[in-house]
Structure 1
């Protein structure tokens, strides 16, 4: 009887060690993907297409898709929002620059791009696995859910865009001026040596 009771802690310790080892390996490969944003997003897009095909051929799981859509909308708002909300900051505290003469402050997202991608990818994986369990296939009239989600998306994006206009920030790098001071100075020095 003592042998059976003594195996429990050893088995739990071995399981805990394997879980820790798997977590460490997973984190290592996850960290390796960090600089490859385009490939990460292509993989997530492929996963989203796979999920859409699964839902289309299963002709169900609309509640799962609706919940996924609401979660993705929530993540998108975090991705588009600044880390510190100018509405909540005291007037004497740091603010986003509103004039050209203001000090440059980079836009820092509330939800960084990598965490945004990782959360979306996990959400699609979980939703995809949920489509294999009939428990989550609740019969609903899906056009109403779709219309409600579209209205929610439009209202939420309208509020977010109004916030961006009011506080004059752009959460994307496109169209922003890029400085190549080091490259220009180096090319200027080499051309002066050639003269």
Structure 2
């Protein structure tokens, strides 16, 4: 059922924007099961962005900002939705054990990510696209000594990942499904 004809130009623009938004969302919904193709296209886009930065010899602040944002997304992707340290503190107050089960009689709770895979992919792809777009405008080409940015970013990655890995070890969770048993149904 179509909406009635708009009375103002703003309503016409709003109706058209809503229509394009629905089309865009339907394409996103259809891409959901194709995880490998989605990530391959994002990786290709990131590679093109890196080529742009290397050959243009500039826009290092844009690349650095993108790197920090992608690191933040990745950390949210490998972090549990509910922080085990907070649950453990709450569990100690009321006498129950929080976090993952440590004995056979405790209930198993699966790993739930703070940032789901699809939102991680969508946010990363959108950020890379925006970074690539910004790399074509001279206003974003700020003069910086890029080796300092690279070293600072590598130190930041090392320190944050070390802290995250220590958190994983302390609270015994693994955010990846590699090597875990999968049951597909009663016949298997």
Q: TM-score, normalized by length of structure 2?
A: 0.89
Separation in 2, partners of 1:118, 1:39: 13
Candidates 11, 16, 19, aligned match of 1:18:
16
Deviation per residue, 1:119-178 (Å, 9 max, x gap): 000000000000011000001000000000000000000000000000100000111122
Q: Are 1:77 and 2:81 counterparts? A: no
Q: TM-score normalised to the size of structure 1?
A: 0.86
What's the CA shift for 1:95?
A: 2.1
Structure 1 residues 52 and 134 mapped into 2: Cα distance closer, same or farther (>3 Å)?
same
- Based on CA coordinates, which of the two structures has the bigger radius of gyration? 1
What's the counterpart of residue 161 of structure 1? 165
SS at 1:18 equivalent: helix
CA distance in 1, matches of 2:102, 2:179: 17
Secondary structure of the 1:173 match is coil
Q: Out of 24, 27, 35, which is 2:25 matched to?
A: 27
- Cα displacement string for residues 86-131 of structure 1 (whole angstroms, at most 9, x for unaligned residues): 1112113752223455322111000000000000000000000000
Structure 1 residues without counterparts, runs of 5 or longer: 1-8, 185-195
SS in 1 for 2:124: helix
Q: Which residue of 2 aligns with 1:97?
A: 101
Partner residue of 1:121? Answer: 125
Distance 2:104 2:142 in 1: 54
Farther-moved stretch of structure 1 (92-101 vs 31-40): 92-101
The number of equivalent residue pairs is 177
CA deviation after TM superposition for structure 1 residue 37, in Å:
0.3
The equivalent of 1:187 in structure 2 is none
8 Å CA contact 1:96, 1:105 repeated in 2: yes
Contact 2:99 2:171 in 1 (8 A): no
Conservation of the 8 A alpha-carbon contact between 1:98 and 1:168: no
Q: Where does residue 155 of structure 2 map in the other structure?
A: 151
